[in-house]
Structure 1
Amino acid sequence: MRLTFIGKDPDSNPGGSPTVYRTDRGSWIVQGWIVTDPEALALMDIPAGETSVEIPDRMIQFFGLGDR
Structure 2
Amino acid sequence: MALRFGGMDPNTTGGGSPTVWVDDEKRELVIQGWVPDEELLTKISTTEWVPSHDTGIPVGENVTRIPLRMAAILRKALDDAERSGLL
TM-score by length of 2: 0.67
Note the aligned Cα RMSD (angstroms): 1.4
Number of the residue aligned with 2:6:
6
Q: Quick check: which one's strand share is greater?
A: 1
Select between 4-13 and 40-49 the one with higher mean Cα deviation: 40-49
Unaligned residue ranges in structure 1 (runs of 5+): none
| Structure having the higher Rg | 2
Q: Quick check: which one's helix share is greater?
A: 2
Total equivalences in the alignment: 67
- Segments ≥4 residues shifted beyond 3 Å: none
Unaligned residue ranges in structure 2 (runs of 5+): 45-55
- Deviation string, structure 1 residues 9-41 (Cα, Å, up to 9, x no partner): 1101222211000001211011010002x2321
Number of the residue aligned with 1:23:
23
Q: How does 1:43-58 map to 2 (within 5 A)?
A: 43-44=43-44, 45-58=56-69
- Percent same amino acid at aligned positions? 40
